[in-house]
């Protein structure tokens, strides 16, 4: 249900470049892991300009993670699904949810997040922030930024509607 809240619930997000360092991000905050990847979202039926119940599914995929403190965490997948009433005008609303990240070392992290979107020169940029509530990196703060470039919402006026979107994202996990 992560993406539903994030995308229109929303699609998810993150923000810092991949940096393999244990430098402090703030006074007492340590960067634990940085990741880059993408988010893929599918809508069924397609999202149109008319509000309707939409099944949302997809996954966050971090393809490259780096860490001096947790060198074994090199990638993760976060599948999501749910249903929400959507239209193209409400697609990028703020939201909240929970998502389970499945790390490459067979461990998981459950994080609770809130997100918001902005429009930057025609590009939708979303930021999700929250805390790992259980599993690997429990207690860490997460910031995800996702960027949807060249999103063609003109398909919202067609019978098929908007059936999928993809964007690049970055993830930063910090802790004390």
What is the Cα–Cα distance from 85 to 125, expressed in whole angstroms?
21
Per-residue pLDDT, 162? 93
Helix (H) or strand (E) holding 72, with range, is: none
73-103 pLDDT, tens digit per residue, is 999 999 988 888 889 888 777 788 889 999 9
pLDDT at 174 over 50: yes
Residue 167 pLDDT grade (very low, low, confident, very high; cuts 50, 70, 90): very high
34-67 pLDDT, tens digit per residue, is 999 999 999 999 999 999 999 989 899 999 999 9
Per-residue pLDDT, 92? 77
Q: What is the mean pLDDT of residues 149-153?
A: 83
Examine residue 45 and say whether the peptide bond preceding it is cis (omega within 30 degrees of 0).
Answer: yes
Per-residue pLDDT, 130? 96
Region for residue 59 given its phi and psi (left: phi exceeds 0; alpha: psi -120 to 50; beta: otherwise): beta
118-137 pLDDT, tens digit per residue, is 877 778 899 999 999 999 99
pLDDT at 27 over 60: no
State how far Cα 73 lies from the chain centre: 18
Helix (H) or strand (E) holding 170, with range, is: strand 162-175
Residue closest to 75 by CA, chosen among 35, 40, 39? 35
Q: Please state whether beta strands 141-148 and 162-175 pair in parallel, antiparallel, or not at all (unpaired).
A: antiparallel
- Provide, rounded to the nearest whole percent, the portion of the chain with pLDDT above 90: 60
pTM above 0.95, yes or no: no
Strands (E) located in 93-140:
95-103, 108-120, 123-135
Count of all residues that appear for the chain in the document: 176
pLDDT at 17 over 50: no
């Amino acid at each position: 249900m992560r993406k539903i809240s994030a995308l229109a619930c929303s699609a998810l997000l993150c923000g810092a470049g991949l940096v393999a360092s244990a430098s402090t991000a703030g006074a007492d905050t340590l960067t634990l892991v940085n990741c880059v990847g993408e988010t893929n979202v599918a809508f069924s039926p397609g999202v149109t300009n008319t509000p309707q119940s939409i099944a949302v599914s997809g996954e966050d995929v971090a393809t490259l993670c780096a860490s001096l403190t947790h060198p074994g965490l090199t990638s993760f997948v976060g599948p999501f699904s749910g249903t929400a009433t959507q239209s193209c005008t409400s697609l990028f609303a703020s939201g909240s949810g929970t998502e389970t990240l499945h790390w490459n070392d067979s461990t998981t992290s459950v994080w609770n997040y809130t997100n918001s979107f902005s429009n930057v020169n025609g590009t939708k940029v979303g930021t999700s922030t929250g805390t790992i509530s259980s599993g690997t990196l429990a207690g860490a703060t997460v910031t995800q930024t996702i960027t949807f470039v060249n999103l063609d919402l003109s398909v919202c006026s067609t019978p098929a509607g908007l059936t999928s979107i993809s964007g690049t994202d970055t993830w930063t996990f910090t802790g004390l």
